[in-house]
Structure formats: structure tokens, C-alpha cells
Amino acid sequence: MAEEDGRRISENLLHHKEKHFTAGEIVRDVIIGVSDGLTVPFALAAGLSGANASSSLILTAGLAEVAAGAISMGLGGYLAAKSEADHYMRELKREEEEIITVPETEAAEIAEILAQYGLEAHEYGPVVDSLRKNPKAWLEFMMRFELGLEKPQPRRALESALTIAIAYVVGGLVPLIPYMFIPTARKAVLTSVGVTLIALLFFGYVKGRFTGSKPVRSALQTALIGAIASAAAFGMAKAVQA
């Protein structure tokens, strides 16, 4: 009976999947892309406006920055996800070798892990025995509960790159839209400030809902960061011009 219970526990531990895991990574990538997309082109446009540049010049420079930023951010996301995948494979190979060469040590580590959850020796003993009979499950258990590593999705690196890049473009176009329709930079920058601050407040609120933070506080913090960045760029441009 104890062995059957232990086997059931091990199966539950091994086959339980967090359905929100991939979605959480996508949300994280969107947050990274949109937050930088809203802030960097916004600050650039404000700085050029402070230097009395024309709307057409600001728009051209802004679009160039959005394109370059999207490529750079997307590449960064790709390399980060690829590095995580490579790290997982290295640890998987090392753990697989340890299960073969030092099985008693690895079995003791299973017992130690389960003991941390409050299980007694007579309770986790059958679980250890069950895992030792199934090397594949044993390896998965060690990767997840000893190392805290989840197997990455095969297309994760490409998906991360595309998500961050697209999110950056979407965010970056928001502060540039007024310059597409208002020829006078001084007027366009005021409209850009209003539009972008509203977008930052909305984005910060949504981000707070997804991340578990207080939405209103997240909205205010996000808008404040964007406002400080644009004000600094505008002030520096004015100071240099003077």
C-alpha cells in the first residue's frame, strides 16, 4: 500500500504541468518589448524636439530607432532564450551521467528533496524506489526539483525574438504618431507627450494585472519612468543647444 501511494505521489510530481508557464514567458517578452518601445523613441523624439528639429526629421530618426531597437531587442531575446536552452541541455547531460555513475548519491538527493517537503523516511522511501526503476522519470525529477529547471520549448528562442521585436515596434510607434500628422514639432511633441503618457499609464496598469503588482501603482511608476526619460532628453537637448 505504501509503495502504491509512493508511486502515485511520484507520478503526480512528475506529470503535473503548469499550463501558464509558456504564457508567462510570452507576457514577460511583451512587457520587455513594449516598455522599452514606449520609452526610448519617446525620449528620442522629445530630445530632438528640444533641439528644434522638424517633425519630418524627428519622424525619420524615430522610425530608424524603432527598426534598430526592434532588431537589437529581438536578437537579445533570442540569445537569452538560446542560452537558457543550452544551459538546460548541459545540466541534463551532467545529471544523466551522475544517475549512471553515482546512483546512490542521486537517490540520497531525492530523499533529501522530499524530506524538505515534510515527508518521513517511510513515506518517501517508496518514491525513491519507484524513481530508481524509471531512469527517464528519475532524470526529469532531478532536473525539476533539484536544479529547478524546466525543459524549454523547442521554438522558444525564435518566439521570444519575434514577440519582443513586434512589441517594441508597437510601443515605439505610439510616441511617433503625432509627428506623422502635425508638421510643427513644438505642437507635435505636446501631443506626443499626452498620447505616450496615456499609453504608459494603460500599459503599466495592464502589466500590474499580469505580474500581480498593484495595477494603479504599476501604472504610475511606468508613466513616471517614461516622463523622467523624456524630460531628461528634452532638457539635455536644450542645454546643448544653449
Domain spans of the chain? 2-10+33-236
DSSP letter, residue 53: -
Beta carbons within 10 angstroms of residue 1's beta carbon: 6
What pLDDT is attached to residue 24?
A: 74
Grid cell, residue 49, equals 524636439
Per-residue pLDDT tens for 97-134?
888 888 788 888 888 887 777 777 777 778 778 878 77
Residue with cell 511617433: 176
What pLDDT is attached to residue 177?
A: 92
CA gap 101, 99 in Å, rounded: 6
What pLDDT is attached to residue 168?
A: 94
**Which residues of the chain register pLDDT less than 70?**
1-23, 233-234, 237-238, 240-242
In the chain the first and final C-alpha atoms are separated, in Å, by: 84
CA gap 97, 53 in Å, rounded: 63
Fill in the amino acid letter for 166. Answer: I
**pTM of the model as a whole:** 0.73
What pLDDT is attached to residue 21?
A: 40
Residue pair 9/127 in contact by the 8 Å Cβ criterion = yes
What pLDDT is attached to residue 53?
A: 80
What pLDDT is attached to residue 67?
A: 94
DSSP letters for 116-148:
HTT--HHHHHHHHHHHHT-HHHHHHHIIIIIS-
What pLDDT is attached to residue 7?
A: 55
128-136, long-range: CB within 8 Å, 24+ apart, which pairs? 129/3, 129/6, 130/3, 130/6, 130/7, 130/10, 131/10, 131/107, 132/103, 132/107, 135/99
What pLDDT is attached to residue 174?
A: 92
What pLDDT is attached to residue 167?
A: 93
CA gap 105, 110 in Å, rounded: 9
Nearest-10 crossing angle of helices 185-211, 21-50: 160
Per-residue pLDDT tens for 133-149?
777 888 887 888 778 77
Contacts of 65 (CB under 8 A, 6+ apart): 40, 41, 44, 172
